[in-house]
Structure 1
């Protein structure tokens, strides 16, 4: 079955280019387009795509706000922000609302197919430049806090749970894979979040990306 894609960008030439690029792949099907954030929200609700490829800077409603509304309506949709903005504040805001992929437009031709197939499986995907930026910031914060590696304070089982959660697995999925109860997984999840000072799934993913546990 083909992966259903919605393209959202306020520039018609960009939408056309993305459609031509994606339609080269038989495993993908572009089922709709949107020219602004509001239209993206409405179209996503109507067509229920598996993946939305969306610009950050769009009129009427920006991409990050649109992503938040789309995911509130249907959390099963995976969203990739395709943008020229590599600033970490954009990345963090996108992660906070539940975006799974963040890809620079300059990398689209090379990485977009892989990004789509990765987020469609519930896993995160970031442009190499974005990952490097996040890693640099992570190292800076560690130095400020006088730490060497917070990963070392986790137990082996907490590290397993961390990676599986960052890969998009639910507590139930993790419980089955590790042959433990969902209650035990939730306990490990709570402990690791306290140790790492992270507060939600988006921050778990960000930490894992910074550590190179997921790509």
Structure 2
């Protein structure tokens, strides 16, 4: 039995072209087609495909939302995004939604077949442009300030204590507010200053306010 593929695209000509090509592949069985994400969602339940070729921009329900929902129903289904878009606004959300592959529609037919086989076997296949966008996203995300990284290392309780410090409260007031001993407050304050690389609580308060850490 071949790899069962479901084709999802709102353009009839695209589906016809892919249908014709995939029908020539002995190891691939095209089990169905859908013109939007909502239709794909219904057909996944009845056709049980192994791999889905998913367009992104479609009416009613787009490919990103469909990918997210399908993965929620059956995480074993492999989804390859097949689109014309290679920008970060499309690549990153698609991969975050759970796509196992990302290819552009100008892909060579033989390469598409290899992608389907590889993704079905458990590999992740990305077009070079998609890989670049993903790396750029990761790189941008890692450029958070050192202060933010340090803040994220604080425990929930330490963050609560720091918030009280920004409100101008002393150890006794913090102790009363959080129902902990003054000794415990002092320990938390010491840990906060150490993790943030600061010398005193005033610096801690200024840093927290400067970065809007406790803005509601």
TM interval, shorter chain, is 0.5 to 0.7
Whole-angstrom CA distance in 2 between matches of 1:93 and 1:140:
15
Distance 2:96 2:133 in 1: 17
Q: How many pairs were matched up?
A: 146
> What is the RMSD computed on CA atoms of the aligned residues?
2.0
Residue 45 of structure 1 contacts residue 70 of structure 1 at CA under 8 Å; is this kept in 2? Answer: no
**1:99 has 2:102 as partner:** no
* Segment of structure 1 superposing worse, 37-46 or 121-130: 121-130
- Residue 73 of structure 2 is aligned to residue 73 of structure 1: yes
Q: Deviations over 1:107-135 (max 9, x none)?
A: 15242111111111122111122223334
The alpha-carbon deviation at position 78 of structure 1 amounts to: 0.2
Give 1:42's aligned residue: 42
- 1:51 equivalent to 2:51? Answer yes
Structure 2 segments unaligned to the other structure (5+ residues): 147-216
Q: How does 1:1-215 map to 2 (within 5 A)?
A: 1-136=1-136, 138=138
**Per-residue displacement from partner, 1:13-35 (whole Å, max 9, x unpaired)?**
10011111212210000000001
Would you say the 8 A contact 2:7–2:32 is kept in 1? Answer: yes
Distance in 2 of aligned mates of 1:132 and 1:100: 16
How far apart are the structure 1 equivalents of 2:37 and 2:108?
A: 20
Q: Which has the larger radius of gyration?
A: 2
Per the alignment, do residues 66 and 144 of structure 1 end up closer, same or farther by CA in structure 2, a change over 3 Å counting?
closer
Could you tell me whether the CA contact under 8 Å between 1:9 and 1:58 is conserved in 2?
Answer: yes
